[in-house]
Chains A and B, each alone.
Chain A
Amino acid sequence: MAGLNFLHIDINSYFATMLQQENPDLRGKPVGVIKDKGRTCIIAASKEAKKLGVKTGCNVKEAKILAPHIILVPAEFDIYLDATKKLKKIFENITPDAEIFSLDEAFIPLKTLKYIYPNPHKLAIKTKLTIKEVLGEWITCNIGIAKNRLLAKIASEIAPKDSIFEINEQNEEEILKTVNFSDVCGVGFKLEARLKELGVEHPYQIRTIPTDLLETKFGLFLAEALIQIGRGEGSYILDRSSAAHMKSVSRTITLFKLCGNETQIKSVLYNLAEEVTYKVRRMDMAGRQVGFFLQGEEKTISAHRTLKQYIRHTNEMVEIIEDLYKNRKRTFRVIKFGVFLSYLKPLKEVPPTLFSEWYKNEKLYKSLDAISQKYGLFTVRSGLLTQVKDIIRPEVTGYLGDKKYQFMEE
């Protein structure tokens, strides 16, 4: 068991499995999770649907051809987030060093546990049982065991569903020679395609490419990461534990249909900015880079501005977005919207401003946030949002990029 330093836990088909746990009628059946009623993209599939070829990202029409009896169910992000909080408690009961990696994945470092759990396989079995006890009998997971995060994650990716798999000195090379990049975290399909141009289809083959060629093609930073992956060494991509605080808060939304109405577009941007600034204030932070993007009809406009002063109030962010927007000529109808506030810093580290307006705003937004805390977000809303029928409410993403915010109130 020497040299096995990490467990990687990955809940099988999380979004669909949780809905099957909730509804026994869905168990054992192909389920396609969609974002909302009427949506046409499958954002997650149950293991039964995956067996029939339904993949994340395929559209409902394709899914119905592959699995004619597929049951479409809207995602329940609140349920997923709560289940993740329960998983976090399970893992932190094992060790306070447990790292939640995404909504349905976590790493458990084993180095400090070797006297309590000398056998990682026994710990893995115990963890699987605890997950079932807490989340429900239908919930299964894969657990990978290896010397570092990279290999532990590959182990859980390639393991059969609901099983435990170990990568050790005996099988490591063989796995690096055969595993596909789709099972290697940090190598997306674009990077995979660029590697293929060099004749690299499996991580081990990276070892055969001269370093200077990798550096020329991918840049110093990515080349180093690829070399590490090729050697089966820990990759920086999987270490998300170092950031002391969030650097950026963003929010995107894809609407049901294309939108060309100016008032509606501004309302959506305002709605998203309201959520972003609320989160930033809840974390006691402020940021000084504001940006937005709009996409639709195969066109995009985007802009950002880096400010000298830090901001955290919705009206400040909206003013900047409006200013950025009016300088961009939109020639298309919009389906996807996004806003962000970045270069975040804890408020206590931000130099105090001399503008009295800022303090007035701070007082106002503190009161508004207190109302939101008591009665729910958007209980008090801007006049710009009173005409909006369906307020866009916060939702969690699978990547869980805002986990510092999501877990702060626990």
Chain B
Amino acid sequence: MYEEVNAKIKVAGVYENNLFWPRKFVWNGKLYEIEQITLTSELRDAGVKKRLYSVLSKGTVYRLLFNRDNETWFLRALWLD
């Protein structure tokens, strides 16, 4: 089941083909290397544009949410067995 987190995070990545691809993120002072981006989704809350990156780090799926309007990153949820 996914566990809601909704915590601010720091993200580092690369721009490629006009898109940002996260490579690592810091949550609660701990660094997480991203091994795979399994899905990207463009979301909208009325006019607010957000991009959801579903990423794999050490076998766990994390949902990273990027608010494209105010350019902030959140860890929305993570998968717990």
Other 18 A-B pairs with CB < 8 A, given A136-B39, A377-B46 = A22-B38, A23-B38, A23-B54, A24-B36, A24-B61, A25-B59, A37-B1, A73-B1, A73-B2, A74-B2, A78-B44, A79-B41, A82-B43, A372-B46, A373-B48, A374-B48, A374-B69, A376-B48
Give residues 44-60 of B contacting A (CB, 8 Å).
44-48, 52, 54, 56, 59
Q: Which A residues lie at the B interface, using CB under 8 A? A: 18, 21-25, 37, 72-74, 78-79, 82-83, 85, 136, 278, 372-377, 393, 409
Q: Does B32 contact A (CB under 8 A)?
A: no
Chain A residues lying within 8 Å of B69, measured Cβ to Cβ, are: 374
Q: Does B79 contact A (CB under 8 A)?
A: yes
Q: Are A375 and B48 in contact (CB under 8 A)?
A: yes
What's the least CB distance linking B78 to chain A, in Å?
Answer: 11
Interface SS of chain B: helix, strand, loop or mixed?
Answer: strand
Chain B residues lying within 8 Å of A85, measured Cβ to Cβ, are: 42
Select from chain B the residue with minimum beta-carbon distance to A135.
B39
Expressed in whole angstroms, the Cα–Cα distance for A374 and B42 within the complex equals 16
Q: Are A72 and B59 in contact (CB under 8 A)?
A: no
Q: Are A136 and B38 in contact (CB under 8 A)?
A: yes
Chain B residues lying within 8 Å of A136, measured Cβ to Cβ, are: 38-39
Interface residues on B, range: 20 to 34
Q: Which B residues lie at the A interface, using CB under 8 A? A: 1-2, 36, 38-39, 41-48, 52, 54, 56, 59, 61, 69, 79, 81
Given A74-B2, A79-B39, A136-B39, answer yes or no on A377-B45 (Cβ-Cβ < 8 Å). Answer: yes
Chain B residues lying within 8 Å of A23, measured Cβ to Cβ, are: 38, 54, 61, 79
Q: Given B41, B46, B59, which contacts A373 in the complex, CB threshold below 8 Å?
A: B46
What's the least CB distance linking A251 to chain B, in Å?
Answer: 15
What's the least CB distance linking B34 to chain A, in Å?
Answer: 14
Given A23-B54, A25-B61, answer yes or no on A82-B42 (Cβ-Cβ < 8 Å). Answer: yes
Name which of A23, A73, A409 has the most chain B CB atoms within 10 A of its CB: A23
Name which of B1, B42, B46, B47 has the most chain A CB atoms within 10 A of its CB: B46
Q: Are B1 and A374 in contact (CB under 8 A)?
A: no
What's the least CB distance linking A24 to chain B, in Å?
Answer: 7
Name which of B36, B47, B61 has the most chain A CB atoms within 10 A of its CB: B47
Given A25-B59, A79-B39, answer yes or no on A409-B1 (Cβ-Cβ < 8 Å). Answer: no
What's the least CB distance linking B77 to chain A, in Å?
Answer: 10
Expressed in whole angstroms, the Cα–Cα distance for A85 and B42 within the complex equals 9
Q: Are B41 and A78 in contact (CB under 8 A)?
A: yes
Expressed in whole angstroms, the Cα–Cα distance for A18 and B1 within the complex equals 15
Expressed in whole angstroms, the Cα–Cα distance for A146 and B59 within the complex equals 43
Expressed in whole angstroms, the Cα–Cα distance for A400 and B44 within the complex equals 17
Chain A residues lying within 8 Å of B52, measured Cβ to Cβ, are: 78-79
- Identify the 8 closest CB pairs spanning chains A and B, nearest first: A373-B47, A376-B45, A82-B41, A377-B46, A22-B54, A22-B39, A372-B46, A23-B61
Q: Are A21 and B38 in contact (CB under 8 A)?
A: yes
What's the least CB distance linking A280 to chain B, in Å?
Answer: 14
What's the least CB distance linking B55 to chain A, in Å?
Answer: 10
Given A21-B38, A78-B52, answer yes or no on A72-B1 (Cβ-Cβ < 8 Å). Answer: yes
What's the least CB distance linking B12 to chain A, in Å?
Answer: 22
Chain B residues lying within 8 Å of A25, measured Cβ to Cβ, are: 59, 61, 79, 81
Q: Are B46 and A24 in contact (CB under 8 A)?
A: no
User: Can you report 28 residue pairs joining A to B where beta carbons are below 8 Å apart?
Assistant: A18-B39, A21-B38, A22-B38, A23-B61, A24-B38, A24-B56, A24-B61, A25-B79, A73-B1, A73-B2, A74-B1, A74-B2, A78-B41, A78-B43, A78-B44, A78-B52, A82-B42, A136-B38, A278-B46, A372-B47, A373-B46, A373-B47, A376-B46, A376-B47, A376-B48, A377-B45, A393-B45, A409-B44
Expressed in whole angstroms, the Cα–Cα distance for A220 and B28 within the complex equals 67
Expressed in whole angstroms, the Cα–Cα distance for A389 and B48 within the complex equals 22
Chain A residues lying within 8 Å of B47, measured Cβ to Cβ, are: 372-374, 376
What's the least CB distance linking A376 to chain B, in Å?
Answer: 4
Expressed in whole angstroms, the Cα–Cα distance for A23 and B46 within the complex equals 27
Expressed in whole angstroms, the Cα–Cα distance for A85 and B41 within the complex equals 10
Select from chain A the residue with minimum beta-carbon distance to B69.
A374
Chain B residues lying within 8 Å of A21, measured Cβ to Cβ, are: 38-39
Chain B residues lying within 8 Å of A82, measured Cβ to Cβ, are: 41-43
Expressed in whole angstroms, the Cα–Cα distance for A373 and B69 within the complex equals 11
